[in-house]
Amino acid sequence: MNGIELAKGGMVFAAAVVLVVLSLHVPMQVVLVAIGLMVAFIINRRVGALIFAVLLIPTISLIRRITAGPSGYTEADPLILLPLLLVVVVVAMSWTRPTVLDHSLKFTHGAASATIAGIAVSVLLTTSFDMNGLFFAGLIIVPLMLAIVLSSGRMPPVWEQVAKVLPWLGFFVGSYGIIQFFFVPSWDRAWMITSKLTSIGLPFPMEVRVFGASESPGPYALFLGLVVTFCLSNAVVLTGGVNRFGWVALASYLVFPLILSGVRSALLSVGICALILALVRATGIARVLIPVFLIVGYQALTLVISRFGTNSTILNADRYTEVSAGDDSLVARLGLLKYLANPLQHLVGNPNAPVVDNLFIDTMLRYGLLAAAGLLALHISIVVIAVGNVVRKQNEVVSVCAIFIGILSLFGPSFNALFGILIGIVFGTVMTAPKFLVRKRPNKRSLASVNR
């Protein structure tokens, strides 16, 4: 054992002693945060720490409910900060590293920087320094900084490692959601009652829109929808019949808990991405697999409606098939258009404004026009790059995931509830390959040789 390993062992032992002492005097949630940060230190790899944060994105709320005891809820729970703190550590370790910034990244980096600056100015001018204000600002700022360090080469690529854990993580949270629908564990029931989640049904079996290991159906459907899109993309891109059928089978399985979440925008976004894959990228047997998936998804939807719709006021036919003036969700989204009539009223924004169901309008209301314009420009550029990647058969899987995020952002604040960490990884990966937008510049040496 060399000196470095001995020092690490000593520090781990000292940290363990401190944790034991802390557990006697502070809440369990604080101890778990300390354990999480200690695990990141032991890993001693930025990529490993980031993967650890990804594992916590769809599961940290379940951990919070279990550790909260009978109430299922802890006020100002520090556990929710753990994934974000891990990413902050990774970004801080990477920010001063050498950058590989080329001309093609200037626009996307500029849009991300404008969003960060707009949010910071809004928080400063409105003096919104309370914990909630800073936390929700951090949910956007930290992932965008992560996207910048990934795309500029300041830290190693992480998408391949993330791609290895996504299907397993999706299978776990999807299966938990199915169990939750039929049994509703006590900690989930307590969470619904204490946090007053009355809009998602009743805390009884088969009468609730599932939220899985997340805090509500929205973030749960965001993650599941991304994993379903990821699986479909792999089914189209990868070669080999067995692999393709395996990816389609997993995507079809995860559609069931996605339907049970009742989040129609996630289902719509998955459907659009499936059509894009079928029309633009699929060849051979893959052209058949996508329609098969859509048929399976439709059958699953009709099965849920016919089997559980009679007993549930949430998962009924009207929710999925009727679009009318009586649809509260549709009326609320159409009502957001009034804010666009005079956007100059929201130059600064109000970080404590209520959340609305559109990422860009929500950002404008809370953090001002500059932040919203920067975020909109970033999403448009990312989607343009992603579509170009799919057409050119480059980085197709992560690009289709970026398109899914772009579509879903029209229906809600997608950066909320820690999902922004995944957005930062996806956007940072896609931003590294916009070469088709850049004209090749002549080499200076070749010009010099010509002029001689």
- Longest CA pairwise span in the chain (Å): 84
Predicted local confidence at residue 105, as pLDDT: 79
Residue-wise pLDDT for 253-278, tens only, equals 999 999 999 898 999 999 999 999 98
Q: Is the pLDDT score of 146 beyond 90?
A: yes
pLDDT of residue 362: 92
Residue 322: pLDDT band (50, 70, 90) is low
Query: CA–CA separation, 361 vs 376, rounded Å?
Result: 10
Name the band, by pLDDT with cuts 50, 70 and 90, for residue 213. Answer: very high
* Mean predicted confidence (pLDDT) in 425-433: 89
- Res. 418: pLDDT tops 70: yes
CA distance 371 to 376: 9
Calculate the dihedral angle through the C-alpha atoms of 34, 185, 195, 325, rounding to the nearest 10 degrees: 130
**Whether residue 447 has pLDDT greater than 60:** no
Give the pLDDT band of residue 201 (cuts 50, 70, 90).
Answer: confident
Average pLDDT over residues 141-166: 94
Q: What is the model's pLDDT at position 77? A: 80
- pLDDT for 237 equals 87
Amino acid at 135: F
Span 24-57, pLDDT tens digits = 445 666 656 666 666 665 565 888 889 989 999 9
Alpha helix ranges (H) inside 80-216 = 82-95, 106-125, 131-151, 159-183, 186-194
Domain extents in the chain = 1-96, 103-437
The average confidence (pLDDT) of the chain is 82
Q: Which single residue is written with the structure tokens 């354990």?
A: 35
Nearest Cα neighbor of 226 from 254, 253, 206, 246 is 254
pLDDT of residue 15 exceeding 80, the answer is no
Which residue, 278, 256, 55, 5, is CA-closest to 161?
55
426 pLDDT more than 80: yes
The SS3 call for residue 61 is helix
Mean pLDDT of 302-324: 63
Instruction: Please report the pLDDT score of residue 354 as a whole number.
Output: 86
More confident residue, 347 or 17: 347
Identity (one letter) of the amino acid at 156? P
Q: Is the pLDDT of residue 330 over 80?
A: no
DSSP 373-416: HHHHHHHHHHHHHHHHHHHTTSSHHHHHHHHHHHHHTTSS-TTT
- pLDDT reported for residue 158: 94
What is the C-alpha to C-alpha distance for residues 159 and 161, in angstroms, rounded to an integer?
A: 5
Answer for the pair 191, 37: CB distance below 8 angstroms, yes or no. no
* In the predicted structure, residue 406 carries a pLDDT above the cut 80: yes
Note the pLDDT of residue 434.
Answer: 53
pLDDT band at 283 (very low <50, low <70, confident <90, very high): confident
pLDDT at res. 438: 44
In this prediction, residues 142-162 reach a mean pLDDT of 93
Q: What pLDDT is recorded for position 109?
A: 92
The residue among 175, 202, 197, 222 whose CA lies nearest residue 58 is 222
* pLDDT of the residue at 43: 60
pLDDT over 80 at 23, yes or no: no
What is the model's pLDDT at position 18? 47
- CA 191 to chain CA centroid, nearest Å: 22
Which amino acid makes up residue 5? E
Query: Which residues have CB under 8 Å from 35's CB, separation 6+?
Result: 19
| Cβ atoms 396, 237 nearer than 8 A | yes
Q: For residue 438, what are the β-bridge partners?
A: none
d(CA 322, CA 367): 34
* Closest to 233 in 3D by CA, of 382, 390, 434: 390
CA distance 405 to 221: 12
pLDDT at 404: 97
Least confident of 99-108, 150-159, 183-192, 306-315: 306-315
Distance from the Cα of residue 65 to its chain's centroid: 21
User: Cβ of 346: how many Cβ atoms within 10 Å?
Assistant: 22
**46 vs 30: CA distance, rounded Å:** 23
